[in-house]
Amino acid sequence: MASVEIRGLEKSYGSTVKALQDIDIHIESGSFFTLLGPSGCGKTTLLRSIAGFLTPDRGEIHIDGQRIDTVPAHRRDIGMVFQDYAIFPHLSVADNVGFGLKNRGVSGQALRQRVAEALATVQLDAYAERMPTALSGGQQQRVGLARAMVIRPQLLLMDEPLSNLDAKLRLELREDIRDIQKQLGITTVYVTHDQEEALVISDRICVMNKGVVEQIGTPWEIYKIPQRRFVAGFVGSMNFFPAQHDSRGGIAMFGGSFAGPTLASVPAAAEAAVRPEDISIVRPGAAVPAGLRLATTVAKLSFMGREAQYTLKAADGSIVLVHLPNPELSLLSLSGHAMEIVIPWERIIWFDPASGDRVGAVAA
Amino acid sequence: MSSRARPGIWTATLVVAWLVVAVLLIYPVITILSESFIDNSGGHFTLAHYATMFTDDYYRQALFGSLFVGLASMIGSLVLGLALAFLTTRFVIRGSGLLSTLTILALATPAFVNAYAWIMMFGANGFIRTGLTSLGLPAPTIYGAGGIILVFTFKYFPYVYLLTANAFAAANRSVEEAAENLGTPPVACFFKVTLPLIFPALSSSALLTFVLSIADYGTPAVIGRNFHVLATEAYMQFSSELGGNLGMASTISIVLMAISLLFVALQRRLASRDRYGGAMMNRPIVKHLTGGRWLLSHVVCYAIVFIATLPSAVVVYYSFRKTRGPVFQPGFGLGSYERVLHNVSDAIVNSLIFSVSSVAFIVVLGTLIGYLLVRRGGIFASWLDNVLMIPYIVPGIVMGIGFLAAFNQPPLAITGTGLIIVLVIFIRRLPYAVRSTAAILGQLSRSSEEAAISLGCSPAQAFLRVTLWLILPGVFAGALMSFVTAINELSSSLVLYVGSTMTMPVRIYLSVLDGDYGTASALATILLAVTAIAVVAALKLTKQGGRSII
């Protein structure tokens, strides 16, 4: 268990590609910390810098106050789980798991005991003497997990460990990784491009894009109160609408004028972001929440099981996505029909389109 | 990408590799290049050799001879190799495993031994020819361009087979199905879709057969009679009893290399456009044929492999024939073997010592350099990679001449020693070992090694405990194949040998020239046996079939 402190980390490839720019991150001891972002955002570069497989150009990495970026990779005491499992094919499952322990001078009964415990933790007790080629991908990754955690490293790194597995196994192993991490309390840095995975598994998420940190926060904060336009767009689905103050003191949106909140610190234009599930459909007889009322027509309707997605078109041509949970059958045959919707003002998150930063709204 | 490993073993490897390459490769080639511009008497700069080369009818004929033989053998090898590869990968051919092994074995023997076996069959007194003539059938002798092309075609088609069989087996079936679905008949589909799909393998094997055909010295020397090619001409100019013409020999060598280089460049240009990759793989179905088609496909496959194996069989057969002096007698006996053991056992011992020592150097340095190229990179490594292409285009005879010209005075006066033969084999084969290690490593994810490091191994330990284990079978197979090429090597040792450093191929060659066919057959059979054991062992070690052998 250890906390991690990353300060001013930079890494460039060639003279043009900046893989990491001025990264500052604090990771609390025992927490599950996820680096989330699209491919090429720098998350893997950052992970490999922590592991010691890459040398950053500038900056420092500290574990529990000790600087480690100058320490060779094999002396950092960091466990790692790889995307392609990286199981040693010439060693049995037990020998794979015992590999790091032997390097640490553990032998005999103690070695056997710890290997057995680790295999039990990942539910592979019965496979100790098998060769890895006889195992499925999911089992191989369990071996990878056992091998990395059995050395009780200060820090455990996972580089997209689930991305080579099929969907069902992915969900299963995801839960197991989460449980084992909580049980052992090893500080863990996890890399993924899958936002749902990140939300489920993490204590804190660091969203990265183009080599910079966009936002660090709990899954709730990342999803519900994104501080950057990129985060709002990358995590979950999101509607974006241009908006601005008009001369009468209202907000100009969808080609009309609405009496809404006053936007602080955005003089001219803003961008309104709202989640599809936060928009309500006006139905006869049902209570209508307060907010921006808008007349639309249904352009497309997709039934997705637990919810339906409406693609609506406003009079000015704006496209609005709305998710309706538990849709009734009668609501699924409305293509081409008119539909009125309400966007609650308090559910709108405002961004400055120039900087991409969130701007506060003062209630109307 | 660099790791935090301090400069240690890998920097040292890079320095050693560059030293080796500079002394054993760049220096001899530069020596030949400069000799080609220096006139033989005064040591002045001159273009006279090149002028002679391109104006004198004698040399121009050799030039055209090389091109003709090279292109014709290339076409012949392509036809045979493609036919065998296509039939065995797309249809069920009984005994195709045996066919494959025999084909690879045919690759491993020296070409000039095949040439000599063909002479035993179709030469002036060849047993098949005399048989045909006695029946009153017309039977021309095999000497000249036709014989050379025949030998090369059946000698080098296995390269085409090995390279394209892999490509045929790996071509995405869906692409062919899409073509058929769009209304392309099967034959048109083969030429319009399948062949273009395997073009990279096809063109690189074509290049290989061409370069090897124009580089070979032994075959045209044995079977060519009055038909001259550049390789024989270079040796003749060099070793002429009227005092060698080093300038002219060097000029011919440079022209020979220039032609190879030109073809390499051409192939790279053509093939670079056509790299079809894709993760989505749908392997072709191997179909069962019936009736006439079944028979025809089997006849074609077995005929090709039978003719390719025939020369070796003839050599083995003659090695057990009774002889009196150089003349074969009716009946069988072990006389030839007795004479071999009595008179030329030193050639066997030399061959084994030279081959094993050069392979030891090749394996160690080849593995380290291969690793360096794939896992470390950097400007010095990538240039090393480029420079290591040189041996592919330098014929053995040329490398031999270069070594002799470069290492005949202090401080590197090693001419006439066994060391010079070991070194010439080493440098000629080193790039193949580097390539094969690099290829194996390229398929290997580096994460296994990183996993070992994250578990506490130093980079050197990680290499020894994990990476080396994973590449070991491939390295062993590569070492065995290096041994096979080393022990069968004729042309550069022919230039470099002295009485005490005689090798088996040189002894066989000289025996053939002397007409001592008994000794030649027995020695060639011993060579065949050693080669066959090594090849079969290599095949057992590698699951990729013959692919890693090239």
Q: Which pLDDT belongs to residue B548? A: 47
Q: Is the pLDDT of residue B44 over 60?
A: yes
| Tokens matching residue B282 | 């749908």
The mean pLDDT value for A261-268 works out to 62
Residue for token digits 């990968």?
B89
Q: Which pLDDT belongs to residue A196? A: 93
Q: Which pLDDT belongs to residue A270? A: 86
Burial class (CB in 10 A: 0-12, 13-18, 19+), A141: buried
Q: Is the pLDDT of residue A266 over 70?
A: no
- Round to whole Å and give the CA distance between A47 and B450: 13
The distance of A156 to chain B (nearest Cα, Å) reads 10
Q: Is the pLDDT of residue B3 over 50?
A: no
Contact (CB, 8 A) for A294 and A320 = yes
ipTM score = 0.80
Cβ–Cβ below 8 Å for B454 and A55: no
pLDDT tens digits for range B118-127: 998 988 888 8
Specify the DSSP element, H or E, that contains A173: helix A167-184
Cβ–Cβ below 8 Å for B451 and A53: no
Closest in A78, A83, A86 to B448, CB measured: A86
Which chain B residues touch A57 with a CB distance below 8 Å? none
- Round to whole Å and give the CA distance between A118 and A108: 16
Q: Which pLDDT belongs to residue A361? A: 61
Q: Is the pLDDT of residue B276 over 60?
A: no
- Report the percent of chain B where pLDDT is more than 70: 94
Q: What is the mean pLDDT of chain A?
A: 90
Residue pairs between chains A and B whose CB atoms are closer than 8 Å: 84
- From the candidates B454, B469, B472, which should be mutated to test the interface with A, based on the most A CB atoms within 10 A? B454
- Round to whole Å and give the CA distance between A16 and A13: 7
Where does the pLDDT of residue B5 fall: very low under 50, low under 70, confident under 90, or very high at 90 and above? very low
pLDDT tens digits for range A295-305: 999 999 998 88
The mean pLDDT value for B530-547 works out to 75
pLDDT tens digits for range A57-94: 999 999 999 999 999 888 889 999 999 888 888 889 99
Q: What is the mean pLDDT of chain B?
A: 86
Which residues does B411 contact at the CB level (< 8 Å), separation at least 6?
none
- Chain B residues with CB-CB distance to A under 8 A? 1-6, 445, 447-448, 450-459, 461-462, 466, 469-470
Where does the pLDDT of residue B543 fall: very low under 50, low under 70, confident under 90, or very high at 90 and above? low
Q: According to the per-residue pLDDT averaged within each range, which of A253-262, B248-257, B409-418 is highest?
A: B248-257
Where does the pLDDT of residue B279 fall: very low under 50, low under 70, confident under 90, or very high at 90 and above? very low
- Round to whole Å and give the CA distance between B384 and B380: 6
Where does the pLDDT of residue A335 fall: very low under 50, low under 70, confident under 90, or very high at 90 and above? confident
Contact (CB, 8 A) for A137 and A161 = no
| Tokens matching residue B72 | 């014709």
Which chain A residues touch B459 with a CB distance below 8 Å? 72, 74
Lowest mean pLDDT across A7-16, A262-271, A279-288, B239-248:
A262-271
Q: Which pLDDT belongs to residue A331? A: 78
Contact (CB, 8 A) for B132 and B286 = no
Where does the pLDDT of residue B277 fall: very low under 50, low under 70, confident under 90, or very high at 90 and above? low
Which chain B residues touch A54 with a CB distance below 8 Å? 1
Higher pLDDT, B71 or B325: B71
Higher pLDDT, B412 or A122: A122
The mean pLDDT value for B7-28 works out to 87
Q: Which pLDDT belongs to residue B550? A: 47
Q: Which pLDDT belongs to residue A209? A: 95
Q: Is the pLDDT of residue B173 over 80?
A: no
Bridge partners (DSSP) listed for residue A215: A207
Q: Which pLDDT belongs to residue B480? A: 86
pLDDT tens digits for range B210-230: 999 999 999 999 998 889 899
Contact (CB, 8 A) for B407 and B427 = no
Closest in A55, A84, A90 to B445, CB measured: A84
Where does the pLDDT of residue A96 fall: very low under 50, low under 70, confident under 90, or very high at 90 and above? very high
Higher pLDDT, B503 or B6: B503
| pTM (2 d.p.) | 0.78
Q: Which pLDDT belongs to residue B507? A: 93
Where does the pLDDT of residue B470 fall: very low under 50, low under 70, confident under 90, or very high at 90 and above? confident
Single-letter code of the amino acid located at B378:
G
| Tokens matching residue B44 | 């002045």
The mean pLDDT value for B411-439 works out to 87
Which residues does A133 contact at the CB level (< 8 Å), separation at least 6?
A89
